[in-house]
Amino acid sequence: MNIPELHPAFTPQEAVVEANRCLFCFDAPCTAACPTHIDVPRFIKKIASANLRGSANTILESNVLGLSCSRVCPVDVLCEGSCVMHRYNKQPIEIGRLQRHAMETWYDDMENRDWANLTRPVQHPQKIACIGAGPASLACAAELRKLGYAVTLFEARQRPGGLNTYGVAEYKFTPGDAAREIAFIGALGVDIRTGVEVGKDITFDQLESQFDAIFLGVGLGPTQKLGIPGENLPGVIDAVRFIAAYKTEARYDVGARTVVIGGGNTAIDAAIAARILGAEESIMAYRRGESEMPAFEFEYDHAKAFGVRFQWNAAPVRIIGEDSVKGVEFACTESGTLRTIEGANFTIGCDMVIVALGQSKLGAMLGDRLKMADGRVLADPATGVTSNPKYFAAGDCASGGREVVDAVAEGKRAAHGIQESFNA
């Protein structure tokens, strides 16, 4: 299947034409709307004047994951959503695609160069451990290296990147794209150690004795359970594991008829991925109505373009099958409430069920080391500092789950919070 991309690449000519449409606003609302505050008019102006290296550097100054954010950001509700062009009833500037153009050109160019001179010198005696190698940790680690600190990043999985490697749907961003950014962050001088599980391969006590500050960017826990009969049948998989598996395995077979349970952006990603991987039918079942679906509208449109079907007001009651999945029984719910309608159950036959109910918050890993609330690490959003002044946290483990660009912004803020704590 031909995979239409979310923000397809511009040709160089198209990029220059689009860049020249920008009004290069003073106090640009697009910059204010970006959580990492990329100087959008500045990087666009550099594209217009054919200074692509300068354009990429402008992006990277604010957002070290400028490539991934150009691909996965919900630009419709962030930078492009606030572009002044809307006021003139014109198409907003395609900021995401311009950013992608600048960043991909930069990486294509950089990969033919010697990266040794990117390494930032260590200027301070303090050492920092970053736990997790997702966007928040990568951003925090990169910012700390820019500030002159020695940083070691610990990741339990074999590949770094977190969500960008394992969790973002392939049609938006591939593991190869994520690897480019990780190579860049490694070249800055971040010591990235994969396959090291904190709490097992290295204890928190050991970290505390070896490092002056510890940053937690460990993301969310596993996908929430449905809590209905049949949930453990072969052919039932949670969406996060499903996306990670098809992104990292050479071959991944899906059912001919796949039901995705959930109504968020991850459910949409899974439903589209099922179609891309060969499902003849991919049906998203959501327990509320269409207008209550939490997924972004552009994601919904994207799913429809892929032929994903939607079943509204459907609450799963049980998964049917003995040795494998044969279908899902649903109860009908009333719109606006979650009350089920008596005697209105129905079944959708299928051979695969993907559960996308959202991820649970963490808790067990940290024990009583830090104050938690609702499974999240309690952290000051301005500095990332937690109830223990040696620990900082940002990204999904502290926020409960937001966009990649939010994690980057929060990780950066925590890096400065860590620096302030050393200077206090």
Residues that bind ligand SF4 (CB under 6 A): 22-25, 28-30, 40-41, 83-85, 93, 95
CA distances from 369 to 10, 48, 366, 380, 389 (A): 49, 51, 6, 16, 11
Burial of 90 (0-12, 13-18, 19+ CB in 10 A): exposed
To ligand SF4, the closest distance from the beta carbon of 54 in angstroms equals 17
CA distances from 326 to 237, 244, 345 (A): 14, 24, 16
Q: How far apart are CA 393 and CA 414, in angstroms?
A: 7
Residue that the structure tokens 């010697």 belong to: 114
Q: How far apart are CA 377 and CA 321, in angstroms?
A: 39
Which residue, 92 or 175, has its beta carbon nearer to ligand SF4?
Answer: 92
Query: Which token pair is 102?
Result: 């600048």
Paired residues of 331 in beta bridges: 315
Which residue, 48 or 414, has its beta carbon nearer to ligand SF4?
Answer: 48
To ligand SF4, the closest distance from the beta carbon of 95 in angstroms equals 5
- For residue 398, the surrounding DSSP H or E stretch is helix 396-399
Which residue, 83 or 237, has its beta carbon nearer to ligand SF4?
Answer: 83
Q: Are 190 and 142 in contact (CB under 8 A)?
A: yes
To ligand SF4, the closest distance from the beta carbon of 265 in angstroms equals 24
- What's CA 155's distance to the chain center, in Å? 16
CA distances from 276 to 149, 157, 345 (A): 43, 26, 30
Q: Are 40 and 12 in contact (CB under 8 A)?
A: no
Q: How far apart are CA 54 and CA 105, in angstroms?
A: 11
To ligand SF4, the closest distance from the beta carbon of 86 in angstroms equals 9
To ligand SF4, the closest distance from the beta carbon of 15 in angstroms equals 14
Which residue, 49 or 387, has its beta carbon nearer to ligand SF4?
Answer: 49
Which residue, 28 or 362, has its beta carbon nearer to ligand SF4?
Answer: 28
To ligand SF4, the closest distance from the beta carbon of 4 in angstroms equals 23
Terminal-residue alpha carbon distance, the chain: 57
To ligand SF4, the closest distance from the beta carbon of 296 in angstroms equals 20
Which residue, 25 or 110, has its beta carbon nearer to ligand SF4?
Answer: 25
Which residue, 28 or 59, has its beta carbon nearer to ligand SF4?
Answer: 28
To ligand SF4, the closest distance from the beta carbon of 50 in angstroms equals 18
Which residue, 29 or 148, has its beta carbon nearer to ligand SF4?
Answer: 29
User: How does DSSP classify residue 160?
Assistant: S
